[in-house]
Structure 1
């Protein structure tokens, strides 16, 4: 039985093209250069932010983020940032009676931007609001708290990032769906650790609708 499905945000619901493009523009480097560096650190299993540190070793990312916001060149999300299957898949899940939650490692501002998109979800929350980040057990405890009473084995966490999503969510006791989307999603989809931890590896959010129907005998 699946009562609740919880979605990561970056490269699960929204693609990160604009995010990295804005950083490249701010730092005054070609967008392709930063994109390539992001790919390199992903392949090495490093944090995305290391791509910024490769460009500017002494960068204070928090200070630069604040400067971007002050200059009116900060975070932005609109309909064009969503993957094409997001609205239809989330709406279909809710029509099946599944609780839909969005919860990922994002800022407080990102939470507001996501809520402004009026997605078909029961709840939107971010690490910036909760004061804890993936892959910590505290984050997944908060996920469990907002699952609407669903037990961990009745909850599916969906994401593209093995170290932040699939592995820690499975360790907490949730069922997991590894999404083959974005650099990490594609790169690690065949990894043995991911295959062992994930209940499903999916190529589209619409796959989750079919999974929910089967698991709930609908």
Structure 2
């Protein structure tokens, strides 16, 4: 039985279009250049922030982030950043009694922005608030605490990133669903490491409603 489903944020619930577009504008480069470099580092299995380092060797990403915020050119989220299946799928899961948790590698500000969207979720937190990030075991221990009333085997972690979501979540003991969404989700969906670690590979968050219902009936 699945009692709790935990959702990654970037490219699981929220499109990254605006995130990278704002970085491109801040650095004064074409948006398509940033998109292409993000795709390149994804294909190489590198961290996505390496795209910024290719554009500006030696860049201090944290310092630039702070400068953007000070200049009022920083992080922003609104309803248009959500994938279309987010609200209906999360609401449907809660309606059948599944605890919905949102937890990903985002900033403290991102957590506040997400909460302001009033999503149908029981709990929202980010790595910035917890002081630990995926793929660390400490992050997933925090997730386990947020999955109140559910054991590891009763908790399903959903994400698009093999190295940050599917593989480490499975290693920690959660059941996992790899979401074929965004560059990481599509590129690595059929990788042997993902297929070995994932209990399901899904194309939409709506698939989770069927999975949860089937698990309840099993």
User: Do both share a fold (TM > 0.5)?
Assistant: yes
1:113 alignment partner in structure 2: 113
Distance in structure 2 (CA, Å) of the matches to 1:33 and 1:57: 15
Distance in structure 1 (CA, Å) of the matches to 2:197 and 2:67: 40
Gaps of 5+ in 2: none
**1:10-60 residue CA offsets vs partner (Å, 9 max, x unmatched):** 000001000000000000000000000000000000000000000000211
2:206 alignment partner in structure 1: 206
Matches within 5 A, 1:1-218: 1-217=1-217
Distance in structure 1 (CA, Å) of the matches to 2:171 and 2:64: 35
Distance in structure 2 (CA, Å) of the matches to 1:187 and 1:75: 26
SS in 2 for 1:5: strand
Gaps of 5+ in 1: none
SS in 2 for 1:216: helix
State TM-score, norm by structure 2.
Answer: 0.99
Shift >4 Å, 4+ stretches: none
Distance in structure 1 (CA, Å) of the matches to 2:197 and 2:128: 27
**1:146-200 residue CA offsets vs partner (Å, 9 max, x unmatched):** 1012000000000000000000000000000000000000000000110010000
SS in 1 for 2:193: helix
Distance in structure 1 (CA, Å) of the matches to 2:8 and 2:117: 16
Distance in structure 2 (CA, Å) of the matches to 1:164 and 1:96: 28
**1:86-116 residue CA offsets vs partner (Å, 9 max, x unmatched):** 0000000000000000000000000000000
Distance in structure 1 (CA, Å) of the matches to 2:193 and 2:58: 34
SS in 1 for 2:13: coil
Q: How many residues align?
A: 218
SS in 2 for 1:133: coil
Offset of residue 143 of structure 1: 0.3
Offset of residue 217 of structure 1: 1.4
State TM-score, norm by structure 1.
Answer: 0.99
Distance in structure 2 (CA, Å) of the matches to 1:151 and 1:42: 33
